[in-house]
Structure 1
Amino acid sequence: MQISRLQIKNLYDQYNYDIDFNSEEKEQITILTGPNGYGKTTILRILKSLNPKSLYYFYIIKFSEIIISFDNNTILNITQNYKTEVESRSAIDYKDELEKEVRFIWNKATGEPLTHCVYNRTNIEKARRSYNFFKGTYSRRRAFDDLSNREKEEILLDNEEFNEYIAKANGQEQFLMQLKTLRSYYIPANRIYNEAYEENEKLPIEKVREALKDEMTNARFDYLIHSQRIDSIFIKKVLGSIYEDCSLSSYNELKTEVENQMNTAAEYKLAEKVEIPEYNEENKAVLFAYLKGLKEKFSKFSTILEKTNLFHKILTSKGFANKSVETSTQHGFKIKSNNGDIIDEYKLSSGEQNEIIMLYRLIYEVPDQGLLLIDEPENSLHVAWQKTIVDDMKEIASVKHLQIIIATHSPSIVSRGLSMTQDLYYLTKMYD
Structure 2
Amino acid sequence: MTDTPTATLLLVDDEPHVLAALQRELRHEGYRLLTANDGEAALAHLATEPVDAVISDALMPGMDGIEMLARIQHEHPDCLRLLLTGKADLNAAVRAINEGHVYRYIAKPWDATELRQTLQLALAHQQAQREQQRLEALTQDQNRELSELNATLERRVAERTAELQQTADMLDAAYGELEQSYVTATRVFSSLITQRLPKDLQTNATVSELLKAFADQHELDEETQRDLQMAAALYNLGKLTWNDHLLTAPSERLYAADRDAYRRYPESGESLLMALEHLEGTAKIIRHHRERWNGSGYPDHLREHAIPYGARLLALAVDFVELQRGMILPRKVPRHSVLALLEKFAGRVYDPALVAPFVELCVEHAPDLGLGGKKVLSLETARLEPGMQLAQDLLSPSGTLLLNRGKALSRSLIDKLMRLEELEDVRLELLVHPPEATEDEP
TM-score interval (norm. to shorter): under 0.3
Which is strand-richer, 1 or 2? Answer: 1
**Higher RCO (C-alpha 8 Å, min separation 6):** 1
TM-score, with normalisation over the residues of structure 2? 0.21
TM-score, with normalisation over the residues of structure 1? 0.22
Which is helix-richer, 1 or 2? Answer: 2
Q: Which has the larger radius of gyration?
A: 2
